[in-house]
Structure 1
């Protein structure tokens, strides 16, 4: 892993869970971590309920769009966190992989997305502590 680790969040549509995770990591780690997200079948837009839930905690994810998962992005990432992408995510030796079992926010309102957002935040906080152990 380089001085600045890169983390890739992957879910099918790259519209909810992975976008919220990327938003939290950018917020909590600042520029100490390179943040990436992608999907195996990206949606046309970020889930509006995910956008609203993140805005409630003063994190704006509207400047990001769902992106297609590319082989090179996985290969050049240090940590790959999957969130329901199944077996479409390529596996490279020496990479750190985690599979986070999280409820899919697709089709849900903001009230149902809040607990997902909060669970992601807890996981991201732990991840930041592992990647940047000397953070204040």
Structure 2
């Protein structure tokens, strides 16, 4: 069996986007991918991220928020930043491919509880759609690319 493809997801807080991506990729194709996530200001796995992932049958409650320095010097096939802002974490280590998939941060959503959860679901579903493309053909993804994958107004 070939080696698993090593993927590191990054976002600032390692609380929502990168945690959801880690859980989704592990759930959808964990037999093919070794997956981690990290941030520059790690805090906690957000309860709403845990909730909306649970709706898909993906339990991320056991994941923990990690600092990107924990992976310094390690080698990854793909390092994927998920920040929609310009202050995405950078990775100091070896990677074959660095990608930027910008998603808005659902933690900044406002409104009723259902509206906020709706934003978490929107981001979760957009990450899942992008991961399904990635899983189908990881080799088709090359370094670069900064298009917004969902509108900040959605």
Greater shift, 16-25 or 90-99, is seen at 90-99
Per the normalisation by structure 1, the TM-score is 0.85
Q: CA deviation at 1:70?
A: 1.9
> Which residue number corresponds to residue 121 of structure 2?
114
Instruction: Find the structure with the greater CA-based Rg.
Output: 2
SS at match of 2:79: strand
CA–CA separation in structure 2 for the residues paired with 1:13 and 1:93: 22
Q: Any stretches of 5+ residues in structure 1 without a counterpart?
A: none
* Corresponding residue pairs, total: 131
2:46 counterpart of 1:33: no
Q: CA deviation at 1:91?
A: 5.7
Partner deviation per Cα, 1:37-92 (whole Å, 9 max, x = no partner)? 0011101x211111111011110000001000027456411100002273641366
Give the alignment's Cα RMSD to 1 decimal. 2.3
Per the normalisation by structure 2, the TM-score is 0.76
SS at match of 2:103: coil
Higher RCO (CA < 8 A, seq sep 6+) = 1
Partner deviation per Cα, 1:72-113 (whole Å, 9 max, x = no partner)? 456411100002273641366762111011010114321211
> Which residue number corresponds to residue 8 of structure 2?
8
Query: Would the aligned equivalents of 2:11 and 2:88 in 1 still touch at CA under 8 Å?
Result: no
> Which residue number corresponds to residue 86 of structure 1?
87
**Is the strand fraction higher in 1 or 2?**
2
C-alpha change, 1:15 and 1:74, in structure 2 (3 Å) is farther
Q: CA deviation at 1:28?
A: 0.7
C-alpha change, 1:81 and 1:23, in structure 2 (3 Å) is same
CA–CA separation in structure 2 for the residues paired with 1:74 and 1:11: 18
Greater shift, 14-23 or 90-99, is seen at 90-99
CA–CA separation in structure 2 for the residues paired with 1:74 and 1:96: 15
Q: Any stretches of 5+ residues in structure 2 without a counterpart?
A: 110-115, 141-154
2:130 counterpart of 1:123: yes
SS at match of 1:18: helix
